Copies of this chain bind each other. A is one copy, B any other.
Amino acid sequence: MNPPLSLEACAARDAADPLAGFRSRFTLPAGVIYLDGNSLGAMPAALPARLDSVAQRQWGQDLIRSWNQHGWVDLADRVAEKIARIIGAQPGETMVGDSTSVNLFKVLSAALRLRPGRRRIVSERDNFPTDLYMAQGLIALLGNHHELVLVEPGEWAPYLDDDLAVLMLTQVSYRSGRMHDIRAVTAQAQAAGALTVWDLAHSAGAVPLALASDGADFAVGCGYKYLNGGPGAPAFLYVAQRHQAQFQPALSGWFGHAAPFEFETGYRPAEGIGRTRVGTPPILSLSALEVGVDLMLEAPMPLLREKSLALTELFITLLRLRLGSEAFILVTPEAPEQRGSQVSLAHPQAWPIMQALIARGVIGDFRAPDILRFGFTPLYLSHTDVWHAVDILSQIMASGEWQQERFQARAAVT
């Protein structure tokens, strides 16, 4: 289908959208077009009641007994198995808890121990920095016997050799929105005898994933973007079944013990994925995450992907129609199979332009030094939203209102 280029055509497309009903399942403020669900997903409308029930009934009334009576002890596993369906994992391959960074440390340290003698971790220069930082911290901790090699996007071929321990990539780039083919890239790494660690922060809930059938080794991902789990929500990790028996947990906490409530002095790892757990699970934030994940599971991923691509293509097409192809550099690949659920534009004045957009209610974000980033979450965005977003951006560029002084100052978090 061709993109709907008029407001009327967009409205007609929305009227026929099988996902349109999900918009009302989220609480979004009036007058806002929220194109930042790739940074912080919107709040599910069911969230406040769930939080209140966990607080008042479970914590407030049933107190410590809730570990059994309300299943707190199994909550993390329950949410993990739901996320497993979103990322295409088999049962028993997914864990929820801790942050994406901490989970990366867990799987990367375990992966290195599965490839003794191999010195290199290869990643991309524009990978999300925390992944690079965690790898650097681990390498230093281990005495600098390993090396982190950073390549330009996709340029890892020269390093596919018997010194490669781990190819560590983010599937959908936070900067460019460019998407890798997990199956093909994993096969390349494995052919060299190496392992893969995939960061799915901008993938889970955004694009179809089939980790198990694609042969992925390890993965981590984020709960607060497309899974709508709330600010700083617990993260997840994936360990392929075939690696679990040999998985040595560097972070060997009591919730990863085979029998945590026996209070033994020696660590014995739980069978399977359970050994990737560390401390006491965060019940309030896991409960919030479950609301977002449950909502995501109601929407068929093929429909989500189809609409996501329609929205990003519509944005790109309308942008060129209204502003020409010179106004911004399109950073995101145009080929649909290489595109996640976001569009990134480069412009020397990206910061004040984004501030001017936000002042008009179009919320995207800025990524240093010159990227305007727009996330398109098909669960709660419409074609009409996209049309208005481009319309407002066009007005801002035509009027030059982004040059106003109030849009120049940089805030703490951008």
Interface residues of A (CB under 8 A from B): 27-29, 32, 34, 36, 39-40, 42-43, 47-48, 51-52, 55-56, 59-68, 72-74, 98-102, 105, 109, 113, 125, 128-130, 132-134, 136-138, 140-142, 150, 175, 224, 230-235, 248-257, 260-267, 278-286, 288, 358, 363, 365, 367-368, 411-414
Contacts and interface: CB of A to CB of B under 8 A. Distances in A.
A267 B29 contact: no
Given A99-B253, A261-B413, A59 B72 contact: no
A67 B39 CA distance: 11
21 contacts: A28-B63, A29-B61, A29-B63, A36-B63, A51-B51, A59-B231, A73-B412, A73-B413, A98-B99, A99-B253, A99-B280, A101-B255, A109-B141, A128-B254, A130-B279, A133-B253, A136-B266, A137-B267, A140-B248, A142-B142, A175-B263
A252 B29 CA distance: 36
Contacts of A100: 279-280
B48 A52 contact: yes
A226 to B, nearest CB: 14
Contacts of A141: 109, 113, 141-142, 248, 250
Number of copies: 2
Most buried by B among A32, A102, A150, A286: A102
Contacts of A138: 250
